[in-house]
Structure 1
């Protein structure tokens, strides 16, 4: 799938198809742009990072706590915004980025796995679930 920022409400089938590839990468942010100042600052940075990686085997999502509450269920991150990455089915990152620039986020994604958020639901599995994508 080409590098576009997708929404699970609108693009469920496309997301599920993309994530079924063995080499698929998923990068998403859980934020709250309505009331989180840091999330509002990160959103355009994240959008820039997405645009810079056109053509890679990546699926990019921005999940807003308010807009995607039904999808996220009872999960509320310890801090916002929460960056979450999967390489294939393996969770590699779940952390709050400290630097809000495209270069800093790209460097963070290239680093060794860092899981700093406990209790994270398997968002990737939910995105791939047949009941979600149909």
Structure 2
């Protein structure tokens, strides 16, 4: 199982995964970024280890209408979301082991704990408001 590369033809598929309550792990990168190019194989391997989650590769330039307003400071940036709850948004070292631990630790949280953490800090509340991938897909049309 490989990650999905977001394009206009599969946006509805991704929105359905999020709407169905499935975990979505998105990597936001750029085609010109050498670090991202090297990380893609590790991200695909991570997807293979977690077949119960949807992994999506998003080129922030090709998909600017979806992610244009997100504050991507560095590559790769990961976004982890379950339903309408954004569990994590931020730059990540291109280390598959670190990403695997992050994905597993978030997926292990009970829904109530995930919701509590999502509202626990201003940064996390901003993620809910600004980084919800389902909302961004809907706004992009």
Aligned equivalent of 1:96: 91
Aligned equivalent of 1:45: 42
Change (3 A) 1:96 1:4: closer
On the 8 A contact 1:6/1:59 being kept in 2, the answer is: no
Aligned equivalent of 2:11: 12
Change (3 A) 1:20 1:13: same
Counterpart pick for 2:100 among 82, 95, 106: 106
Aligned equivalent of 1:124: 134
On the 8 A contact 1:28/1:63 being kept in 2, the answer is: yes
Aligned equivalent of 1:60: 55
TM-score between both structures, scaled by the size of structure 1: 0.74
Aligned structure 1 segments of 4 or more residues deviating by more than 4 angstroms = 112-116
Structure 2's unaligned 5+ residue stretches are 107-116
Q: Determine the C-alpha separation between the residues in 2 that align with 1:46 and 1:69.
A: 21
TM-score between both structures, scaled by the size of structure 2: 0.71
Query: How many equivalent residue pairs?
Result: 124
User: Greater share of helix residues, 1 or 2?
Assistant: 2
Change (3 A) 1:92 1:69: same
Aligned equivalent of 1:78: 73
On the 8 A contact 1:28/1:85 being kept in 2, the answer is: yes
Higher relative CO (CA 8 A, sep ≥ 6), structure 1 or 2? 1
Report the alpha carbon displacement of residue 82 of structure 1 after superposing the two structures with TM.
Answer: 0.5
Please provide the CA RMSD for this pair. 2.8
Structure 1's unaligned 5+ residue stretches are none
